[in-house]
């Protein structure tokens, strides 16, 4: 499997994202009773805080793991921590934020897993990287769309949910409750960050279609709105 060039990956993600988001689409952040709307041009910072093997296969060298969960489990906490620390410090750098701003980008989408700010073994937390990303984005005039890309039990069964395999999120009341606690915690943590744009929860189109008449997803989304209401967040 060929290694993806980091800067080329960022460029490609801008092209994909711009086709969906560029234009006069609302970007709303609430401060008190004031709302702000602006045109957005953004890229997705994928493969950084949620691993995807196809993006950086070298991280999985010598392992049969196909996702972040199984990689961390195979390596053990000490080795996984060292590997991910180096990856997180080098995959996206301050120069990348500067480069994005100089090329007309005004926002970045930051995918994270439910384990980013709390201990969920064998995953390795990474809130210090998120905090750094927000500060670096602010220094370069960029806003941040924080994307909850993986939830307990997996919302789509794909590797970028953290753990590849069966769909387990919607079958467990505890998984659903856990994901809501994570959403609320992220909203609380991000509230003081002036570069925060919105909170996004990733679901595949197939998953949404499958559950559109079943109730759990709509009920959970409604609860998510209630949890982060008044916390400077737009779940989108």
Per-residue pLDDT at 192: 83
Instruction: Please name every residue paired with 147 in a beta bridge, in sequence order, or none if there are none.
Output: 111, 200
**Structure tokens given for 208:** 């949404």
pLDDT of residue 236: 40
Asked if residues 136 and 127 have their Cβ atoms less than 8 Å apart, the reply is: no
Beta bridge partners of 148: 112, 201
Helix residue ranges, H only, 25-126: 68-75, 77-90, 94-102
Say what the pLDDT of residue 188 is: 84
Each residue of 12-21: b (16+ CB within 10 Å) or e? ebbeebbeeb
**What does 54-66 look like in DSSP terms, one character per residue?**
TT-GGGGTT----
Task: Please report, in tens digits, the pLDDT of each residue of the chain (236 residues total).
Answer: 555 565 665 655 553 333 333 332 333 333 333 345 557 788 999 999 999 999 999 999 999 999 999 999 999 999 999 999 999 999 999 999 999 999 999 999 999 999 999 999 999 999 999 999 999 999 999 999 899 999 999 988 889 999 999 888 888 889 988 988 898 888 888 888 877 766 666 655 545 555 554 555 556 666 666 665 555 444 44
pLDDT for residue 180: 85
Task: Fold for 6-228, please state it.
Answer: TIM Barrel (3.20.20)
pLDDT value for 168:
86
Cα gap 151→181, rounded to integer Å:
11
On the question of a cis peptide bond just before residue 122, with omega within 30 degrees of 0, the verdict is yes
Which stretches of the chain are assigned E, i.e. beta strand? Answer: 29-31, 34-36, 42-44, 107-113, 143-150, 196-201
Does the predicted TM-score (pTM) go above 0.85? no
Tokens of residue 87, six digits? 């990856």
Residue 89, Cβ density class (10 Å: 0-12 exposed, 13-18 middle, ≥19 buried): exposed
pLDDT for 42: 86
């Amino acid at each position: 499997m060929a290694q993806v060039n980091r800067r080329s990956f960022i460029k490609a993600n801008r092209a994909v994202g711009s086709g969906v988001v560029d234009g006069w689409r609302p970007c709303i952040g609430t401060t008190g009773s004031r709302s702000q709307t602006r045109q957005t041009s953004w890229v997705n910072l994928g493969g950084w805080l949620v691993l995807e093997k196809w993006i950086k296969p070298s991280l999985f060298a010598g392992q049969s793991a196909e996702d972040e969960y199984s990689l961390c489990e195979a390596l053990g906490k000490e080795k996984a921590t060292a590997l991910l620390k180096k990856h997180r410090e080098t995959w996206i750098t301050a120069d990348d934020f500067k480069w994005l701003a100089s090329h007309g980008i005004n926002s970045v989408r930051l995918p994270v897993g439910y384990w980013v700010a709390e201990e969920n073994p064998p995953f390795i937390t990474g809130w210090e990287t998120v905090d750094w990303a927000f500060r670096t984005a602010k220094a370069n005039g960029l806003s941040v769309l924080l994307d909850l890309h993986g939830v307990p039990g997996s919302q789509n069964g794909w590797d970028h949910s953290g753990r590849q395999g069966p769909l387990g999120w919607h079958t467990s009341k505890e998984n659903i409750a856990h994901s809501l606690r994570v959403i609320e915690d992220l909203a609380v943590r991000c509230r003081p960050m002036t570069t925060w744009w919105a909170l996004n929860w990733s679901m595949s189109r197939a998953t949404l279609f499958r559950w559109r008449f079943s109730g759990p997803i709509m009920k959970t989304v409604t609860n998510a709105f209630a949890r982060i209401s008044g916390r400077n967040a737009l779940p989108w």
